[in-house]
Amino acid sequence: MSLALAACASAPVARVDARGAAAADQALKMVGKPYRYGGSTPAKGFDCSGLVQYSFRQAGVALPRDTEQQRRATAGIRVSSLRRGDLVFFNEGWRRNSHVGIYLGSGKFVHAPSSGGHVRTESLDSPYWKKHLSEARRV
């Protein structure tokens, strides 16, 4: 009986992990799409939180639209515990947690950078992103 309970208890976690990985896969399909402030579709382009919302929606998970609401809707984790599909937040300029991306694994993340850019993957170990990483969160 305890084996059956343990299996049931772990099923929701596996489902959430699978959805995070599916969201990461969706975001990777958007690499090369243009950055557009307020954008949240492949046709119009993406800003950072629009990419996150779109990618998770495609994976069956509803997330709020803006970066701060996404931060509040997720659980804080240690950066050392990052898994594929977790969110990584960055401080840009004077704004705390103003940029978000989706962790891919192996120290990489996907995001929609600033104006004039395109959705792309980058390394958390690059000097810029390492300096600006503020927190990691799990959906």
pLDDT at 116 over 90: no
The CATH number of residue 86's host domain is 3.90.1720.10
Write the CA distances from 117 to 35, 82, 106, 112, 129, integer angstroms. Answer: 5, 26, 23, 7, 16
8, 99, 118, 132: the active-site residue? 99
Structural domain that includes position 10: 2-138
Known active-site residue 118: no
pLDDT at 112: 97
132 part of the active site: no
Give the residue with greater pLDDT, 1 vs 138: 138
**pLDDT given for residue 4 in this prediction:** 41
Element spanning 50, H or E? helix 48-58
DSSP code per residue over 53-92: HHHHHHTT----SSHHHHHHTSEEE-GGG--TT-EEEEEE
To the query of whether residue 111 is one of the catalytic residues in this protein, the response is yes
Across 1-13, average pLDDT: 40
Question: What is d(CA 51, CA 33) in angstroms, rounded to the nearest whole number?
Answer: 10
Selected catalytic residue, list 8, 48, 118, 132: 48
Q: Which of 8, 111, 118, 132 is catalytic?
A: 111
pLDDT in tens, 19-78: 999 999 999 999 999 999 999 999 999 999 999 999 999 999 999 999 999 999 999 999
The per-residue pLDDT for 114 is 85
Domain count, the chain: 1
Q: Is the pTM of this model over 0.85?
A: yes
CB atoms within 10 A of CB 39: 20
